[in-house]
Each structure stands twice: as C-alpha cells, then as structure tokens.
Amino acid sequence: MTKSDSPQPADDDAAARRRRRLAEVFGDVLPETTSDERGGGGSAEDRESWYRENRPPHHGG
C-alpha cells in the first residue's frame, strides 16, 4: 500500500477544518431532511395563513 492509498489523520483533520470553515462562511446550503421527511406540516389553515398575512394590498382582502 502506498502513502496515497491510505488516508492520513492529518488529512482527515484538514478536511474537517475545511468543512467547518465552509459551514461558517456559507451556512448549511441544504437541510439534512426535507419538510416531507420531517412531517408535522400542520393544517391547511396554518399553511394558508402566511399567504393571507402577506397578500399585497392591491389584491384585496
């Protein structure tokens, strides 16, 4: 086995530091789970309330 075939602990540490730094700068780009996987979406009334509260005045209401 050559040196490039086996990961070194220093390489793992460097990769972990790089991932941490990217997360600090950019945040989580995608959540670990989707809203479908999390469930508990609430009632249709709750989902509609955001649209009613944020309806532009020229759309009536």
Query: For position 7, what pLDDT does the model report?
Result: 56
The pTM assigned to this predicted structure is 0.34
pLDDT at 13 over 90: yes
Cβ contacts of 61 within 8 Å, gap of 6 or more: 52, 55
Residue 4: band (very low, low, confident or very high) from pLDDT cuts 50, 70, 90: low
Q: Average pLDDT, stretch 42-48?
A: 75
Least reliable range by pLDDT among 14-18, 47-51, 55-59: 47-51
Question: How many whole angstroms separate alpha carbon 2 and alpha carbon 52?
Answer: 64
Length of the chain: 61
